[in-house]
A and B are shown apart, each in its own frame.
Chain A
Amino acid sequence: MKKILVVEDEKALSLLYKEELTEEGYKVTAVLDAEAALEALAKERFDLIITDIRMPGKNGIDLVTRVLSRQPDIPIIINTAYQSYKNDFKTWAADAYIVKSSSLEELKAKIKELIEKPHVPTQKRPD
């Protein structure tokens, strides 16, 4: 079973994502902030991360760049209510940027696409 880490500080939304994605057949771990996400990632390997941007403490963009510096091949979806963070080129480190909406169809389709995508390892530069 594919494992997804959801990083979302709004509890109701976090619960909704957990229920909906569990129904889709994924094993979902939901945490409320970036620090908790880093702790979860240190203990367990996930197949995909969905993260909000505006959260208490470290924001989602910093989380993405931190995670990828250690685990460069993990697919990440940024899921935020704001279009404006698209201007921040650090968001490019994520594989997708989906603006929150009342329908989860776009998010579910992107998860499916990224989780089933053949694994292309990130190149390592020779030292």
Chain B
Amino acid sequence: MSQLRKDLISGRWVIIASERSKRPDDFRGAGEARTETADSFCPFCAGNESKTPPEVYALRREGTQPDQDGWSVRVVPNKFPALDRGEKTQRRQEGIFESMSGVGVHEVVIETPDHGLELSDVPLPHLRDVLETVRSRIISIEQEKQYQYVQVFKNKGRAAGASLSHPHSQIIATPIIPKRIKEELYSAERLFKKYQGCIFCRIIGQEMGLRQRIVYSDRHFCVLAPFASRFPFEMQVFPLRHSAHLADMTPEETESLAATLKSVLSKIKGLLSDPPYNLVLHQAPNPSLVQGDWPGMSKDYHWHMEIMPVLARVAGFELGTGFYINPVPPEAAAGFLLG
């Protein structure tokens, strides 16, 4: 029988449709073929640095110059940005409508100079360097107080929204807190009061005890298939130590996150035939704002990542109702990924 499950944080109900269930094995071979041909020019590849805007950050071999070959991770601003860096934005009222100037930061983290090397396949120290780069950029951007929220995400594969297969992730900072994040923050605040503690810590504790939906865990991180997963093989990556900001990670935790992501992304690639996926960071807003206007935030909220393999299409029912139907129960997904 199908089951309706409620996601505690968003309040969203999901139909776990076990009677129309697909076996996890049914998703083998769901990966997409690469569409780029060998004669396609890639602006992210080593040697083509002149095709990107000047780098804002790079890890590079000693003796090499900025915007030249010799880097291992490189961050560049968007060449054709939709949002421009700028001063604090002013809200304008036009009758009943409200608008503001489009200021923001949009950077691309080029994760490796090698076009064909995926994040799951890079050596562990390199993956740690990518995470350390992202952490460093978040800290730097958050020093500009006009940016209330820094979003980090990775789209892999065309069906997940990536236009280029060269491994990269993106950082977008906005002058407002996005609606979805705000709802999550309010919910975390409300649930903190109800449960007398961080709701995410409580979920982690329960899941680690039950071990039905845990996909991976080590000393510092755990990965679980959420109780009310919207999509087949949806996963959440949580630090075990309570923290609201990714930038608070210690070097040891960064090492551990690298190992965690490598393990999980390799499982997705190997067991699900390299499907497209989205990886999204959820963290508290800019700490300077939190300290001033939202003092409880660092206690209420717990940063995490969401990994969503693109294995099924969101169709009319989901779009029309906001009600997701997931044909793979998260317990089955976790069991399959554990092997």
B317 within 8 Å of A (CB atoms): no
Across the interface, name the chain A residue whose C-beta is closest to B166.
A89
Task: Given A90-B163, A97-B80, verify A125-B41 contact (CB < 8 Å).
Answer: no
B78 partner residues in chain A, CB cutoff 8 A: 86
Assess whether B40 is in contact with A66, with CB atoms less than 8 Å apart. yes
B125 at the interface (CB under 8 A from A): no
B41 touches A86 (CB 8 A): no
B39 near A89 with CB under 8 A, answer no
**Residues of chain A with a CB closer than 8 A to B163's CB:** 87-90
Count residues of A near B (Cβ-Cβ below 8 Å): 25
Contact partners of B49 in chain A: CB under 8 A = 123
Question: Contacting B43 at CB < 8 Å: which of A92, A123, A124, A125?
Answer: A92
- A87–B155 Cα gap in the complex (Å)? 12
Say yes or no: B41 contacts A93, CB within 8 Å.
yes
Chain B residues with Cβ below 8 Å from A67 are 41
A66 to B80, CA, bound (A): 20
Query: Do B80 and A92 touch across chains, with their CB atoms under 8 A apart?
Result: yes
Set B69, B80, B108: member contacting A125, Cβ < 8 A: B69
B-facing mask of A52-91, CB < 8 A → 1, else 0? 0000000000101111111010000000000100111111
Contact check, B50 vs A122: say whether CB atoms are below 8 A apart. yes
| A93 pairs with B50, CB closer than 8 A | no
The minimal Cβ–Cβ distance linking A53 to chain B, given in whole angstroms, is 12
In the complex the two chains form, what is the Cα distance from A125 to B47 in whole Å? 6
Q: Which residues of A contact B (CB under 8 A)?
A: 62, 64-70, 72, 83, 86-93, 95, 97, 120, 122-125
A83/B41 in contact, CB under 8 A? no
Given contacts A83-B82, A97-B80, A123-B68, A90 and B50 within 8 Å (CB-CB): no
Grouping DSSP codes into helix (H, G, I), strand (E, B) and loop, the A interface class, with mixed when no group exceeds half, is: helix
B164 within 8 A of A: yes
Q: Find out whether the CB atom of B40 lies under 8 angstroms from the CB atom of A125.
A: no
Residue of A nearest to B43 (CB): A92
| Inter-chain contact B82/A89, CB cutoff 8 Å | no
For chain B, residues 120 to 167, give those with C-beta under 8 angstroms from any C-beta of chain A: 163-164
Alpha-carbon separation in the docked complex, A106 to B50 (Å)? 22
In angstroms, Cα B41 to Cα A66, docked, is 6
Shortest Cβ gap from B268 to chain A (Å): 22
Q: Are B50 and A86 in contact (CB under 8 A)?
A: no
- Contact (Cβ within 8 A) B39 A66: yes
Contact A92 B52 (CB under 8 A): yes
Interface residue? B79 (CB, 8 A): yes
Nearest-CB distance from A112 to chain B (Å)? 20
A120 CA to B82 CA, complexed, in Å = 27
Say whether B41 contacts A123, CB under 8 Å. Answer: no
- Among B41, B47, B52, B69, the most chain A Cβ lie within 10 Å of the Cβ of B41
